Amino acid sequence: MRDRIYLCLAHMSEDGMEQKYVKEAFDTNWVVPLGPNVNGFEKDLEAFVNRIEASPEAFVEGGDLEEASLTHKVVALSAGTAAVHLALIACGVKAGDEVIVQSFTFCASSHPITYLGAKPVFVGSEAETWNMDPALLEQAIVDRKEKTGKYPKAIIPVALYGMPYDCERIMAIANKYGIPVIEDAAEGMGSRFNGQVLGTFGKYGVLSFNGNKMITTSGGGALICENADDANTVMWYATQARDAYPYYQHTAVGYNYRMSNVCAGIGRGQMTVLDAHIAHHKHVQALYEELLADVEGIHMHKQPADPRYDANFWLCAATIDADVKIQGQENAYKEVITSAVGGAAGVIHAVDSATTDCQPNENVEALRIFMLEKNVECRPLWKPMHKQPVYEGAAVYTNEVETNLFKVGFCLPAGPCVSDDDVRYIVECIKEAIVK
Ligand SMILES: *Cc1c(COP(=O)(O)O)cnc(C)c1O
């Protein structure tokens, strides 16, 4: 049997740069949540996010191809979730406020809104990018103002599986109503729109370095800030919000969210392979697109034809038509699952039913099980947040594009650990799973 092919695994540099920086942290006794690696990692991240590639439009029009650059600052933090939390605080979100967030996402986009006693307002997706639908966004803004007398305090679009949202229209709408944008680019590190990195369009941009993201620090995150003042505010909240006295004096509630110098060492090493990782994710996507092109009923989630879109393809996603029969489909959802699908970290609450009122179609579940028997990890798409019991009763503006995608979609392995041979094997397994 082949080794298990995982969805997306951490992948260290060939020359062990991560260990070199981690060793330096130990050798110099900087085993704390600050230090040379944290500073160095932030500098590397700033260089990366501030580089604007000559836009595809410039190439088309034969325009000025000189590379421009931005002046954003980056604060390294203990997690991407912490970055979302601090961005909300920096936007002045308080208990009772409303924050607009893409419904089709991982829970870390919306949970921090709840940490603050604020209320998420969920916005549905457009069919092309699977991300926040600009028309629904505007409808939500106008309707919330009408119903509550106030505008939402922030807008959180999410680069789902790395796909850029419509940066142009979302930013135009946000600016029209004067609402700050917090870009959740946790999955979209290095994805670009018109040559510019996601996370640099809004007031804040969230990155994650969890074990399965584009690069890892074992666990960690960062917040991209527009300027040094904002970065200072975020850093202050991330380090317990202290005032300048010889003793600990606090005028606000702070957090212990700074990144460890040991983790940042891993991050510095990972920055040397980030470009190669992005290139490999794109390569794997292209190969899936080629090999699955003539498999009837299976459709890869592709990037829009508009040349401004440049996805990192963190995960490769696809959909399967409802009428495609998969081997073993009659047994799908017959048994209660006793372990977590996907990230098995931590504790998962046991359940006593095998189904919920909103779940992937039976052929999607059957495909997941079939592929697992072939030692390939496939996973359902994120279940929309407005369909989660924990958010029952939250305001929602949607055409249910994301709910319908959730029923037919699945994720395929991607990333530097997936070889061309793996992709060919995975595609052959999918073909074998389909009942002719
Ligand atoms: C991973 C992720 C985050 C933050 O993740 P951490 O695990 O806390 O680093 C936030 N939003 C999305 C969409 C994510 O996928």
- Helices 36-50 + 261-271 axis angle, to 10: 40
What does pLDDT average to over the chain?
95
Question: Which atom of ligand 1 lies closest to the CA of 158?
Answer: 13
Q: Which residue's CA is minimally distant from atom 9 of ligand 1?
A: 80
Distance CA 113, CA 407 (A): 26
Banded pLDDT at 313 (limits 50, 70, 90): very high
- The single residue listed with the structure tokens 């991300």 is 131
| Contacting residues for 429 by C-beta, under 8 A, at least 6 apart | 370, 371, 374, 376
Residue 155 or 54, more confident: 155
Checking if the pLDDT of 67 tops 90, the result is no
Pocket of ligand 1 (CB under 6 A): 79-81, 105-106, 108-109, 158, 184, 186-187, 208, 210, 221
Mean pLDDT, residues 143-149: 98
Checking if the pLDDT of 353 tops 60, the result is yes
Distance CA 363, CA 19 (A): 44
Q: How many CB atoms lie within 10 A of CB 290?
A: 12
pLDDT of residue 54: 77
**How remote is the CA of residue 220 from the centroid of ligand 1, in Å?**
9
Checking if the pLDDT of 422 tops 90, the result is yes
Tokens of 15: 């020359």
Banded pLDDT at 65 (limits 50, 70, 90): low
**How remote is the CA of residue 207 from the centroid of ligand 1, in Å?**
8
| Paired strand residues for 197 | 192
**How remote is the CA of residue 84 from the centroid of ligand 1, in Å?**
9
Decide: helix, strand or coil at residue 193. Answer: strand
Q: Are strands 192-193 and 196-197 parallel, antiparallel or unpaired?
A: antiparallel
**DSSP codes of every residue in 396-415:** EE--SHHHHHHHHEEEE--S
Task: Please state the separation of Cα 102 from the chain's center in Å.
Answer: 12
Tokens of 386: 């407005």
Percent of the chain past pLDDT 90, that is, above it, reads 89
Mean pLDDT, residues 294-305: 97
Cα-Cα-Cα-Cα dihedral sign, residues 348, 351, 353, 359: negative
**How remote is the CA of residue 186 from the centroid of ligand 1, in Å?**
5
Decide: helix, strand or coil at residue 338. Answer: coil
pLDDT of residue 340: 65
Give the chain's radius of gyration (CA, Å). 22
Banded pLDDT at 315 (limits 50, 70, 90): very high
Q: What is the pLDDT of residues 82-132, one digit of tens each?
A: 999 999 999 999 999 999 999 999 999 999 999 999 999 999 999 999 999
Q: What's the pTM value of the predicted model, to 2 decimals?
A: 0.96
Decide: helix, strand or coil at residue 32. Answer: coil
Task: Please state the separation of Cα 394 from the chain's center in Å.
Answer: 22
Question: Which atom of ligand 1 lies closest to the CA of 159?
Answer: 13
pLDDT of residue 338: 72
Decide: helix, strand or coil at residue 121. Answer: strand
pLDDT of residue 342: 62
User: 210, 312, 411: which to mutate for ligand 1, most atoms within 8 A of CB?
Assistant: 210
Tokens of 420: 């061309």
